[in-house]
Amino acid sequence: MIAPYRHIRDLNSLTNDEIADLFTHFKKVYTRLNKCLKPHGYNIGLNLGKIAGAGIDKHIHIHIVPRWQGDTNFMPVISKTKVVPQALNKLYKDLKEISEKVQK
């Protein structure tokens, strides 16, 4: 999940610098996930407002969810897509390792 520092409820409230920063971070996460996990695709989405699932009324964030053919979840019911589970501590370690290599 990628979120701006400032909590706001609407895309129109983001400054151009905040939009650029948000998508610069998105690109970094996308690149690192590709190197680390090598997914077959992604589900990417914005949650705008509490009703949309943001959890906090004045909060925008981007979800970036790597996907693989054959993964399992409720998704097959609506899109013939499945989710593959992975331990978060292992994913954190792998992404940290990739990030350290990228920064050198």
Q: Which residue segments constitute the domains of the chain, with CATH numbers given?
A: 11-103 (3.30.428.10)
Over range 44-71, report the average pLDDT: 77
Give me the catalytic one of 7, 25, 59, 61.
61
Please indicate whether residue 66 or residue 81 has the higher confidence score (pLDDT): 66
For residue 93 the two structure tokens come to 């370690």
The CA-based dihedral angle spanning residues 26, 92, 58, 75, taken in that order and rounded to the nearest 10 degrees: 80
Q: C-alpha angle with apex 70: 69 to 73, nearest 5 degrees?
A: 115
Catalytic residue status for 63: no
**Average pLDDT value for the chain:** 80
17 falls in which pLDDT band (50, 70, 90)? very high
Q: DSSP 3-state helix, strand, coil percentages of the chain (rounded to 5)?
A: 45, 15, 35
Highest mean pLDDT among 4-8, 41-45, 53-57: 41-45
Please indicate whether residue 32 or residue 7 has the higher confidence score (pLDDT): 32
Residue 69: the pLDDT is: 81
Residue 33: the pLDDT is: 92
User: Over 67-85, what HEC string results?
Assistant: ECCCCCCCHHHHHCCCCCC
Determine phi and psi for 46, rounding to 5 degrees.
-105, 135
